[in-house]
Structure 1
Amino acid sequence: MIPEVTRSLLETAIDGGGLPGAALGVVDARGAAQTLVLGLAQRDPDARALTADHLFDLASLTKPLFTARELLRAVAAGSVDLDDDLGTFLPELAWMQDTPLRTRSLRQLLTHTAGLPAWAPLYTWGDAATIRARVLQEPWTMRDPGEVVYSDLGYILLGRVLERVHGRPLRDFPLDAGLTFAPEAARSVATERCAWRERMLRGEVHDENAGALGGVSGHAGLFGTLGGVLRQAELILRGGWLPAAAQDAALRPAAPGRTLTFVQAQAGWSGGSLASPLAVGHTGFTGTGLWVDHARGLAWVLLTNRVHPTRHSGFDIQGLRRAVGNTLLAPRD
């Protein structure tokens, strides 16, 4: 299931210094799975071998695997509707401003079409309480809705919606086996020597804004093992990730190049050019990714620590992701 050419790609990336380590998992429509774990969990300050039990900082995989999934569960339970306005759940949002943000829908936030900016340095604003208050009152420059602008800010707001709907902080939500918001440092893959926190991050969220918000947010903060993330891919491929109607809605086209939860196959897509047109996937900044191709009956997960010890290595992680996807999907004799 994992061809030798795929192993060779990953070994070359590791031996050439581009990646400390990599964990690959593949599962087919029958549930047959295979995994491959290579290289190191960290190089700095000392070398430690990567194992299947190590936890990776999943970064933006938090968006589909937690935030979007929980919102669609809430829709299925009748707690929210995708076309509800953001202001329905956050009535204090921009309360002294005349802003369209209050009337943007959960659907628009999920699909990154609400018109919000992509990012802001929230971690420079102050403590977590200050950031949580200010992010609701900041006079964001809004685009017209409809254009896809990938936005961490939108998912930070969706995380706040989930907290209001369920009456508890995100870190207290139950998670599937192999996923956690409270990683043990000893079991975690190292990410980066953070210039802001002035330490090597291990078992601590890499994303600065999520770190400043206490380690968990709607856009980042989830950690997972290879087995835990591969199980999510299998549930998406074979059913059971969401109630049937909600799962169908989650994977249908919902905006240009996007479903409610994932990025669709398109030119330059991270899963490679051999995927079927309705294949879906998502990546995380730390070097993680998950892809599902229902038409081909295959799903795969590639977890790396490409930001260790620095994000500025110049390594082409997108090129590696596409190459891995193509080797897995290429016809074999």
Structure 2
Amino acid sequence: MTLSKLLDRAWAPVAERIDAGRIPGAVLGLVSADGTVKTRHAGQAQLVPKPRPMREYTWFDLASLTKVIYTTPAILKLAEAGTIDLDAPITTVLPDLRHYNLDAWERKVTFRQCLGHQTPFPAVEPIYTYGRDPDLLRTFVLQREWQAGPSVYSDINFILLGFVIERLAKKKIRELDAGEGFDWEAEPIEAAATEDCYWRHRVLVGEVHDDNCAALQGSGHAGLFGPVTSVLDFAKGLLDGTGASAEAIRLMRTPLSSRRTHGWEHPHDGWSGGDHCGTEVIGHTGFTGTGLWIDFEAGHAWTLLTNRVHPTRHFDSGIGLLRRAVGDAINGA
């Protein structure tokens, strides 16, 4: 089936959700390994305080896609250069992590475990509620006695990996190059709005939605902005091997658990890519309503970018079901 026909099939459930008022707007894009790109867009980039239409090249707060587009490639590049050893504790770069207790379990966590979310860190922690000083909050994360639990998806893993990148670069993440076609913020007139934020007292447009990333003023787990074309260019680079080394791509595709690879997810029951993906697919989602899935066997990738948290996250947008419906449409269900 051609990319155009796949796009037509996959767009139907997206258009239905927009028409039903479940999400304000969306951009859906597909790319093949040969560089062919197809996109579709509709709805509103912003509803309040004034409506603004979605455009094909609207910039999105990519949220946790930052983990796979920016942080994972950066960490794997450091490993390939021999700067870090993925199986060494992250204290080799962050020696001050829990340094008042040299036997603390946090000091034994490795780079690879953080990439695969195989650590005991909690799933959620409202770091932003502990203050507004980004340097003090970094110290808080490093010195906090974290309550250990089962291995779950945790932003703390990638916050720490972001600290690693910062420590080695001797710069804050927001001072580093975000990558071709990406940035750490966006012009409001060009960006999809996210939440009417309770603690920042404004509708967020072009500034990061993630509370902890905002308080840290940049982090490894969120904060990246970009349009559909940049996301698809990144995906094409992994499909054709020009965007990362063969070893980095191999690790991104190598399972570390029943759900996760190095940075990414792979197909499992109930996953975001739907029930009909092949075994050679990796994907990831972002809280703001974004997602990217790359099918190495089929030779194509797709991204669904929405502003489903606008004007509030406290609404059942049905984004999980929509992502799966798009994936099933692309994969022939």
Which band: TM-score by shorter chain? over 0.9
1:156 corresponds, among 122, 138, 159, to: 159
State the shift of 1:240 in Å: 2.0
State the shift of 1:29 in Å: 2.7
Equivalent position of 1:310 in the other structure:
312
RMSD: 1.4
State the shift of 1:255 in Å: 2.2
- Correspondence 1:89 to 2:86: no
CA offset digits 1:185-227 (Å, max 9, x no partner) = 221110010111111000111011111111x201111011110
2:32 corresponds, among 6, 28, 34, to: 28
The 1:217–1:209 alpha-carbon spacing in structure 2 relative to 1, beyond 3 Å, is same
- Correspondence 1:128 to 2:130: no
1:221 corresponds, among 179, 204, 223, to: 223
Contact 1:292 1:300 in 2 (8 A): yes
Equivalent position of 1:8 in the other structure:
12
Gaps of 5+ in 2: none
Q: Any residues of structure 2 matched to 1:64-143 within 5 Å, and which?
A: 64-97=68-101, 98-126=103-131, 127-143=133-149
TM-score (norm 1): 0.95
CA offset digits 1:274-331 (Å, max 9, x no partner) = 1102311000000000001112222101000000111122121010011111111217
Gaps of 5+ in 1: none
What amino acid maps onto 2:109 in structure 1?
R
CA offset digits 1:95-126 (Å, max 9, x no partner) = 21241111111000110002111121111101
Structure 1 window deviating more from structure 2 (183-192 vs 4-13): it is 4-13
> Could you tell me the percent identity over the aligned residues?
43
- Correspondence 1:178 to 2:173: no
Q: Distance in 2 between matches of 1:268 and 1:178?
A: 32
What amino acid maps onto 1:311 in structure 2?
R
Q: SS in structure 2 opposite 1:210?
A: helix
What amino acid maps onto 1:155 in structure 2?
F
Q: Distance in 1 between matches of 2:47 and 2:185?
A: 23
Q: Distance in 2 between matches of 1:62 and 1:5?
A: 28
TM-score (norm 2): 0.95
Q: Any residues of structure 2 matched to 1:39-58 within 5 Å, and which?
A: 39-58=43-62
- Correspondence 1:324 to 2:326: yes
What amino acid maps onto 1:62 in structure 2?
T
Equivalent position of 2:268 in the other structure:
266
What amino acid maps onto 1:236 in structure 2?
L
Q: Distance in 2 between matches of 1:128 and 1:168?
A: 13
1:38 corresponds, among 20, 38, 42, to: 42
Q: Distance in 2 between matches of 1:203 and 1:135?
A: 26
Q: Distance in 2 between matches of 1:237 and 1:323?
A: 23
Q: Aligned pairs, how many?
A: 327
State the shift of 1:53 in Å: 2.4
Q: Distance in 2 between matches of 1:162 and 1:75?
A: 12
1:166 corresponds, among 166, 169, 176, to: 169
Q: Distance in 2 between matches of 1:53 and 1:212?
A: 28
Q: SS in structure 2 opposite 1:248?
A: helix
Q: SS in structure 1 opposite 2:44?
A: strand
Q: Distance in 2 between matches of 1:188 and 1:257?
A: 32
Equivalent position of 1:247 in the other structure:
249
State the shift of 1:56 in Å: 0.3
Contact 1:181 1:221 in 2 (8 A): yes
Q: SS in structure 2 opposite 1:59?
A: coil
Q: SS in structure 2 opposite 1:253?
A: coil
State the shift of 1:9 in Å: 1.4
Q: Distance in 1 between matches of 2:124 and 2:219?
A: 14
Q: Distance in 1 between matches of 2:193 and 2:317?
A: 17
Q: Distance in 2 between matches of 1:82 and 1:205?
A: 29
